[in-house]
Amino acid sequence: MAGAWGEMALRVLWVWLILCAFWFSPALGAEPPSWWASLSATDRYGVQGDLILLGFYDGFVDGQYGPQTEGALKRFQLSTGDSERVPSQTTLGRLRQEAQQEFERMGMQLERFPQEGVAAYVPRNVLTVRTEGEGGVSFATDDGSMVMYLTGYDNPAGSGSLEQRAVELLRPSYNRTVTYKSIKPDRIVVSGRQAGDAYYSVLTADGDKIIGVSVIWGNEYASLGAITATFAASYSGRAEYFEENPTEVSTGLAALEGERIGRFILPKDEPKVIVLAGDIATGAMLDLRRALKARPDATTLLLDSIGGSVNEGLLLAHAVADRGLATYVPADAGCYSACAYVFFAGKARAADGSLGVHQIYGDGVSVSDAQAVLSDVLDALAEFDVPQAVISAMLRTRPDQMHVFTDDEKDLLQLNRGSIDRANLAAPEGASGGLTVMRKNSTAEDLASQRTERILTVREPTKWADLMLTNGFTARMVEAITPAILGQYPSATLPAGARMRILFGASRTSEVLIPYRVSLYTHDQDSGEDRHMATVALTDRGSYVAGAEPRRIDFPTEDLPPSMGGKSNRAKSN
């Protein structure tokens, strides 16, 4: 009988092991799952970094989906009660939020050692004592029970410096034992015990520099020490790799002067204003918290964003609501997609610029995940007292299109509410209100990196597609724009005197200027008016959709055909 029970137990054990292998490990050499592949590289790195901060992952942040990453995700899922094979968008959003809270609780700060040109993230709420020495800098607790060392060494080509440092790390010692080592051409990792304490050291070769991070901790810091070491190992490197104030911007308000924290700007002369100028990506919520910490008296959030991550947008929205911030979209700015959630969360809110919504989307996301995210969105909009007509417009508008609310709709639906002191929120010259009108013979090299406009005037009947191709649009862009244009202006040809108004901005992936918006106007010779016929704008998904007419400007008249006169004409809506 005992033998039968033993055999049964053995079978149960084998079944359990097989299930665990199926649950926790991908097939050898298998492609990463589609949901992981659908994430941006930034989001994949972010998930691994978040798992480190919460103690679920002890590998390097490399964006690769392997057994360690999958196992860490499954453990986090189980901790939240999510038993699905694929983590839901709600679960990933919770991971991001909890990791951001941990990041803030630890006081993670980027610390530089200029003498050696290296930098790393350090939990300064814990390691409060900083000491600089020859070749490096240390950070320690008040009692010295946990210490982190950041060092930098020269690594001349062919010098073998990394190998020499490895010899020192692995050299036997009476009070040190090595329990793990990994030696690769560009990285060496060693961990073990030293005089009763745990230690972790990593050396990384990067060109002519070797970056060293070592952490030693006593038993009372067992969990925090391991997290600090693993996180710093991935988030350390040459100092020039860590830019505190990114210069890559792509929106009108991004030209504002002031301290930059991610996509947020703290305008120099506006102590109660914070500006969101750019797409909403992973880490935006953490950036907002830093901005609020740097500007605790802020009362208003200015918005100029094409949208981005739904989960991150919802986190921002709830933070805005909890803080009681007002939200404002200035004229010539735009707030689309996930940015709209942030706008609606404002205690007081006003949109003088464009406000657009559409359905949520996510490549590779299951129907159940999409439904869960949609439920979160609808709950948030209900909490913010958003009219049902707005929600209906969002649900009716396909992801590759955008419903941009007209001024009449804003008034009818009472999208603006409360009191906003617009006079004190006017964008300074050079920001969204100071767009430069360029002549048609200007080139991209002449334009500044902020948003810039170019006005083209047609002297004789011309196909608008040909005009676009010779002024910054690729053939693929024109193909994508065509349906949106024809839906408003059902002709392939612009008549003599017509205007094409193109808004250019910096690409998020290169220094090349790309067209963000294009508007068409026809000139009426009898009245002398330029009438708006169509506008298309670039969405956060990279497609062009019908957009609202931009703010009116005075068009130049010298390029008009002689038969049409030469006085300045105010653009008017059709």
For 482-492, the pLDDT digits (tens) are: 877 887 888 88
Most confident of 92-96, 123-127, 287-291, 354-358: 123-127
Q: How far is CA 362 from the centre of its chain?
A: 15
How many alpha carbons fall within 13 Å on the CB side of residue 101? Answer: 9
Q: Which residue has the higher pLDDT, 424 or 117?
A: 117
Per-residue pLDDT at 154 exceeds 60: yes
Please report which helix (H) or strand (E) contains residue 166, including its range.
helix 161-170
For the cut 80, the answer to whether the pLDDT of residue 25 exceeds it is: no
- At 104 the pLDDT is 83
- Give the Å distances, CA to CA, from 426 to 139, 345, 467, 515: 44, 21, 34, 25
* H/E stretch holding 66: none
Q: Which residue has the higher pLDDT, 6 or 94?
A: 94
Q: Which residue has the higher pLDDT, 108 or 369?
A: 108
Band of pLDDT at residue 180, cut at 50, 70 and 90:
confident
- Which CA distances in Å does 129 have to 84, 103, 108, 149, 237? 44, 19, 14, 12, 21
**240 phi and psi, to 5 degrees?**
-70, -15
Angstrom distance (rounded) from CA 376 to CA 370: 10
Specify the higher pLDDT residue, 212 or 539. 212
- For residues 329-346, one letter each, b for 16 or more C-beta atoms within 10 angstroms of the residue's C-beta and e for the rest, the string is bbbbbbbbbbbbbbbbbb
DSSP 423: G
Percent of the chain with pLDDT over 90: 20
CA atoms within 13 Å, Cβ hemisphere of 570: 4
Tokens of 256: 């504002």
Domains and CATH numbers, the chain: 33-106 (no CATH), 111-241 (3.40.1000.10), 252-425 (3.90.226.10), 435-572 (3.10.450)
Interatomic CA distance for residues 260 and 276, integer angstroms: 10
| Alpha helices for 397-523 (secondary structure H) | 407-412, 464-469, 475-486
Euclidean distance between the first and the last CA atom of the chain, given in angstroms as a whole number:
91
Task: Look up tokens 């350090």; give the residue.
Answer: 122
Look at residues 471, 466, 444 and name the one whose alpha carbon lies nearest to residue 455.
Answer: 471
* Residue 561's pLDDT band (cuts 50, 70, 90): low
**pLDDT reading at 211 higher than 60:** yes
Mean pLDDT highest for which of 5-19, 22-36, 372-386? 372-386
In terms of average pLDDT, the best of 22-26, 174-178, 309-313, 315-319 is 315-319
Q: What is the pLDDT of residue 472?
A: 66
Angle between helices 310-323 and 284-294 (to 10 degrees): 30
Does 382 score more than 80 pLDDT?
Answer: yes
Residue 101: per-residue pLDDT = 85
Question: If you average pLDDT over every residue of the chain, what do you get?
Answer: 77
Amino acid at site 336: Y
pLDDT of residue 563: 63
- Mean pLDDT, to the nearest integer, of 304-322? 88
Q: Which range has the worst mean pLDDT, 88-97, 334-343, 365-374?
A: 365-374
CA nearest neighbour of 119 among 108, 105, 106: 108
Per-residue pLDDT tens for 37-54? 777 666 788 889 899 999
- Residue 166 burial (CB < 10 Å; 0-12/13-18/19+)? middle
Across 79-125, the runs of DSSP E, i.e. the strands, are 108-113, 118-123
pLDDT band at 520 (very low <50, low <70, confident <90, very high): very high
